[in-house]
Amino acid sequence: MEEKVLEILKDLFELETVDKTCSQETCEKWDSMGQLNLVVELESEFDLSLEPEEIGEMKSFDDIIRILKIKLDGKSLG
């Protein structure tokens, strides 16, 4: 999952290199439009639906992984 998320971040925000420190603070192109595009990519890749309040908390790579894990765990339980 982590590799796939890094790949999405790299492609979406046109980064030459990407690592786990990637965040809204460090990535210039990660703006509000970028965030909505990121949501579209994540929902498509992981076949899930993110709630707006979850999206509002996704400010970094670590946030994305944390939220995706909760969503995917819930999905497998469901």
Structure tokens at 46: 């992981």
Interaction with another protein in 43-72: which residues (CB under 8 A)? 51-53, 55-57, 59
What binding mask, one character per residue, do residues 7-46 give for another protein by CB under 8 A, x or -?
-----------------x---x-xxxx-xx--x-------
In degrees rounded to 5, what are phi and psi of residue 56? -65, -20
Q: Are 49 and 28 in contact (CB under 8 A)?
A: no
Interface positions with another protein (CB under 8 A)? 24, 28, 30-33, 35-36, 39, 51-53, 55-57, 59
